[in-house]
Structure 1
């Protein structure tokens, strides 16, 4: 909350020029602050007139005005080239929710508008399996950025970081800027800090009437951490989202009709991150995870869920949740082993083809085979997770499936979904589980090549971390196995990894 300190007798220069209502707070206008502009104040404004000097040594001479730069306010490290402005204009015109003439966006700097446009055209397609313009809930969030600054800032942060990753890899397909990755990264950090401050203000105010907006912001903070490295920072946001989901359960639907249809996809995304995050960390799930997961499992799967990039079948998510919980309990070894055997039978009974078929009536394309392969890959990867997470309590009887056979099955089902396929983004977790588990040099090379190639189309930091982490896992296995297995080693390490 920004507090006023007295008020001016007239509107500030920016508000007068843009014909908007000024709040007249001093020393600077909050309206300018909220739109990321430098307030020019209320007094006389000195302006360069390019006049001829009338006295002194420079008498009779005039001076060209300094080159105009992009408008002040917001991330401003990127120099917007003419080609970039053309790209910006075309993409702004193509988006129904982001028109440069609209009041919420007309006051933004060119750089901020560039990042919003880049989010629209580039980032949004990474957040769903198939980017169908009318069916991408993450693009719908853009229409709310004029009213909710925390959303605007965290979207700009994600966009700038994505842009930094892409320019660093040199994989950008179009000429949209002349910035270095470090400059875009600075923009990302500036916007993230602004968003953190605004989120803190919203939480401190105790006003949760627009709690779905806060949830959307938290979800985008998780996305930011995945874009960065997928290490450590995401946990704070999943824990906050978990608490907010309890509030949403207790207080019914959000008050904004535009967000009612988004609520399910927001909750499902946060919950999946919460659960997958426990697979490589020692963090414990709470009962509120059951609440959100119940929402995923019981609600009729809708269009947004079918197009979510985190395409892990809900039944298998429940198994991961249960394994993560009881594997960290203080129960007797035989009880843990019995639970593991029971859950393995649940996974064995799961039918990926029936699951994939159930999505076809609401999918935007016929993709039965790809979804079935992804479901099969998750099925075998979850078996590996059950066996490894409970290894301390396992007897040889629990290894009815050979771990190497499970890896081979995963690779068999991942092969029809290559890195250049839009469905690749749904295969990162099973890819990592297969790569970490296998001892076969050819399979290790295949998984590593798959993830490295995937970085060209999915320039996310968590994928880069997975590429760096696999050789460390292999080194550990060569030194210490048989002994504490690789999964327990990762869970007890100093880092909390999220590979999703």
Structure 2
């Protein structure tokens, strides 16, 4: 479900028999954002190429995530153009794919089921058999749900609410069965075609629902009256599940996973003005997406990467890491603004909006807020509780290092950088039960890896951690992150952000989440 990004090209002009224009019709979006005059060279501008930036071209850019897949037999397909529906005198009915609904409009091709009929059996007879489905749902409950949250507890909503919802929603059920089967294949070596088939089926059905929603939006209808909370919840839960599926499938799954993240971001932003305060699961999933979105943005550098990012909901400030994530994203935004000004020759020392003292104070405050909010988990006074405190410290020091490198640069003393790096490695080494908190380590271990290019011992420590993360979590993608770090270590003169930009330009996004 990659975000649709259409660009006018010279191919259209050539097919009509006319010669292509000598220059683009308008400045490219990257040059516009950098506030410089674009040379409008075709097919992409020279100024972007000189700065190693990705030039998106000159045509219109549609941002709704209508793509179906980035690989497999659905690769390259997108949602067809939706004509504006004719006006009707009565209010349109709500969209729903609830299996309890038996109403048929004659034009809605979303599968409907009646009472007593298994929705998955009606959609895909014998796919899978009931015993396999039960086994995979149980596997998700026991092995995967705990990997989706900061720390597993009785309050894990993936287990409490998402699994029961999957029993009612065929698309979400397919997504969960796909990731369970794929995870089993990775951890046991038993390859099967079932995960990809289930993923493709789920993505196709989500795309059909998106077509309906975008059609209503194109007609100018109020989204709040067009999509019910239940539909929004299963769509968002399915997108997040599919993103995790892609991370488990291959070492290069970031691009596919990122397409699902973009789709989820678009959905949540489209629903931003609707009233969903009473839907606890939607609020939970929205904040889960915020964690994923903000951390992913730290290592993705495309022109649109930080546009319309999902932030922690203001009224959910009691959630753990909420204040931390909000400050971290501000740092990311400031760092991108600095980068753009540097390459346009407009940067000056006074443009840095925060000092190292402010950074430490801000993240220290966020650390305290996170520890207070974590009280709702009611963790026992054992290794898990002590490790969680260490995880908070680990993110604290990783965020300081990230800020020092991408924003403050020459404005911070090397002794401060060394101190933060030392404490980060100490806390990582002090974890008592690493397997229980592996899901929290990819991002801070990545930051640690960017700080040990002159230290073989630390490199070996980071490499072992990423190998353990990939093995214990069953996600092959993290081996690709390790390969990136090893490439960085072998090139001591390259900044990690420059290398990540080069990887991204070659179609290999770095998403250490």
Q: Structure 1 residues 356, 324: closer, same or farther in 2, change over 3 A? A: closer
Kindly indicate whether residue 462 of structure 2 is the aligned counterpart of residue 377 of structure 1: no
Q: How does 1:351-366 map to 2 (within 5 A)?
A: 351=364, 354-365=368-379, 366=381
The correspondence for 1:272, drawn from 268, 285, 291, is 291
Higher radius of gyration, 1 or 2: 1
Matches within 5 A, 1:57-206: 73-75=126-128, 108-133=129-154, 135-168=156-189, 180=190, 182-183=191-192, 186-206=193-213
Find out whether 1:476 has 2:491 as its counterpart.
Answer: yes
Q: Deviations over 1:45-86 (max 9, x none)?
A: xxxxxxxxxxxxxxxxxxxxxxxxxxx6225xxxxxxxxxxx
Tell me which moved more, 111-120 or 158-167. Answer: 111-120
Aligned residues: 375
Shift of 1:357: 3.4
Specify which of 314, 326, 332 is matched with residue 324 of structure 1: 332
Alignment check: 8 A CA contact 1:384 1:433 kept: yes
**1:345 aligned to which of 357, 370, 381:** 357
Give yes or no for contact 1:407–1:434 (8 Å, CA) kept in 2. yes
2: CA distance, partners of 1:337 / 1:159? 51
Distance in structure 2 (CA, Å) of the matches to 1:414 and 1:73: 47
2:311 to 279, 293, 317: 293
> Is the aligned partner of 1:314 residue 2:338?
no
Deviations 1:436-492 (A, max 9, x none): 221211111112122223344322223332333321221222xxx1xx412221123
Give the match for residue 497 of structure 1: 510
Whether contact under 8 Å (2:317, 2:323) holds in the other structure is no
Distance 1:369 1:422 in 2: 12
Q: Could you report, residue by residue, the CA deviation over 1:283-338 in whole angstroms, capped at 9, with x for unpaired residues? A: 3345532xx4251x54242xxx44xxxxxx33332333223323333335785755
Tell me how far 1:250 sits from its aligned partner.
0.7
Contact 2:387–2:433 (CA<8 Å) still a contact in 1?
no
Q: Report matched runs for 1:231-242 at 5 Å.
A: 231-242=254-265
1:261 partnered with 2:280: yes
Structure 2 Cα separation of the partners of residues 275 and 134 of structure 1: 23
Q: 1:35 aligns with which of 112, 120, 135?
A: 120
User: Equivalent residue for 1:221?
Assistant: 242
CA displacement at 1:163 relative to structure 2: 0.9
TM-score, length basis structure 1: 0.67
Measure how far apart 1:343 and its partner are: 5.8
Residues 344 and 298 of structure 1, relative CA distance in 2, 3 Å threshold: farther
Query: What TM-score results when the alignment is normalised by the length of structure 2?
Result: 0.65
Deviations 1:111-163 (A, max 9, x none): 23322221122211222344334544344212122332111111111111111
**Aligned pair partner of 1:488 in 498, 502, 512:** 498
Counterpart Cα distance in 2 of 1:343 and 1:192? 46
2: CA distance between counterparts of 1:473 and 1:455? 19
CA distance in 2, matches of 1:378, 1:341: 22
Q: Which has the higher contact order (CA 8 A, sep 6+)?
A: 2
Distance 2:164 2:502 in 1: 42
Distance (Å, rounded) in 1 between the aligned partners of 2:317 and 2:466: 33
**1: distance between equivalents of 2:112 and 2:324?**
48
The verdict on how the C-alpha distance between 1:476 and 1:300 changes in structure 2, with shifts beyond 3 A counting, is: same
Cα RMSD (Å) = 3.2
How do 1:240-251 and structure 2 match up within 5 A? 240-251=263-274
Q: Which runs of 5+ in 1 are unaligned?
A: 2-20, 40-71, 76-107, 169-179, 307-312
Residue number in structure 2 paired with 1:430? 444
Structure 2 unaligned segments of length 5 or more: list them: 1-78, 80-101, 214-225
Deviation at 1:353, TM superposition (A): 5.6
2:247/2:475 contact within 8 Å kept: yes
Q: Is the contact made by 2:133 and 2:177 (CA closer than 8 Å) also made in structure 1?
A: yes
* Map of 1:459 onto structure 2: 474
State the match for 1:80 in structure 2.
none
1:153 and 1:191 in contact (8 A); partners too: yes
Q: 1:281 aligns with which of 300, 314, 318?
A: 300
